[in-house]
Amino acid sequence: RWLAMAQDDFVLQLARVGGLPGDALRVFLALAAHLDYENFVVTPQSEIAAKIGMKPSHFNRGLSALIAEGVVEKGPKIGRMVSLRMNPAYVWKGSASNHRKALDERMKARGLSVVQTDSAARDELEAAGQTRFDGV
């Protein structure tokens, strides 16, 4: 089993003064251990908390901090349980091509443009009616 982690984003966030509060790092590591492909966590939170010997209230407090920081998001509901999804900018489990797609979707959802190549950037600017720059 493996997963990829973004050192700069997540580790620097932890290192800054104030970092993640309380048990958030323990919760993050426990969620990462239960990460399924495409970054979903479908194991019940109470089960994860029990496995790491954490009170559910402490687990929920750590999870709330991760959600507030944008490290974890609520995923789709599966039966009566709400799944979780880890932010692909911090950690990823799945194929590299699907990781790129997940990052692109997040950028588009925030109104940011996703450009793969210089020629694609030129085409996008021209399609938007912007002047083409010489030498670009």
pLDDT tens for 5-53 read: 766 666 666 666 566 777 898 999 899 999 998 889 999 999 999 999 9
Enumerate residues 6+ apart whose C-beta is below 8 A from 31.
Answer: 41, 48, 63, 66, 72, 84, 86
Q: Are 93 and 3 in contact (CB under 8 A)?
A: yes
Mean pLDDT of the 88-99 span: 85
The reported pLDDT for the residue numbered 133 is 53
pTM here is 0.71
Structure tokens at 94: 């799945």
Inter-residue contact 86 to 31 (CB < 8 Å): yes
Query: Helix 24-33 vs helix 56-69: angle between axes, to the nearest 10 degrees?
Result: 90
Categorize the per-residue pLDDT at 114 as very low, low, confident or very high, splitting at 50, 70 and 90: low
